[in-house]
Amino acid sequence: MSFCCGQRFQQRPSTPGFWAQSTRHWHPGFKMSSRQPRFNQENLIDTTPLPDHIPKVKELGASSAPLLSASYFIGARCKDYNDDYMMCKTEANGRGELDCMKEGRKVTRCAASVIKDLNDHCLAEFRTHWQCLENHNQQLWNCRSEERKLNKCVFDKLKLEKTIPDTPKGETPVHLRARQIFSTH
């Protein structure tokens, strides 16, 4: 037993330092470890090729802002592929990484087609919207005016409409409201 700061401390042989028996806390005056931390800064890349039955697909190469801007249109066009992929993942009970890659590649291919069509037909509106998202911490309510222009262009040229899943029937979706609660526009 030891005394420090008016409290009794009992030294525990298995751990360094002193344990405050009355408060069950480590005494702050003692060092926990003298070992210096080591950090692994290497990028680990698996070079094992994918099996032949999994179709090859090029990655999108888009950052989070363009993906957020296009997300509702990707959802509109790729709903069936997304549903197949999620059903495969559900049936695999969390172990479907390789089993569901074929369905995942279809989702990626479909999303790439949406991004390509947005770049081909509505590039100015698409770029304006995702840059607004990038500059406003990816908060959709800050970019409603740019979003309206993008939605109109996409509907006119690609016939895709933004729909928010599980919006109650009869209620105006948040992006179509005339008066935005948080918007400064």
pLDDT of residue 164: 75
pLDDT of residue 41: 72
pLDDT of residue 44: 74
pLDDT per residue, tens digit, the chain (185 aa), is 555 555 555 555 455 554 445 455 555 555 556 777 677 677 777 788 877 877 777 878 889 999 999 999 999 999 999 999 999 999 988 777 778 888 888 999 999 999 999 999 999 999 999 999 999 999 988 898 999 999 999 999 999 988 777 777 887 776 667 766 655 54
pTM: 0.65
pLDDT of residue 31: 57
4 three-state secondary structure: strand
Phi, psi dihedrals of residue 18, rounded to the nearest 5°:
-120, 145
Count of helices and strands (H, E) across the chain = 5, 3
155 three-state secondary structure: helix
| Long-range Cβ pairs for the range 143-151 (8 Å, 24+) | 144/175, 144/180, 144/183, 144/185, 145/185, 147/175, 148/175, 149/125, 150/69, 150/122, 150/125, 150/126, 151/175
pLDDT of residue 33: 64
Sign of the Cα pseudo-torsion (129, 131, 132, 136, in order): positive
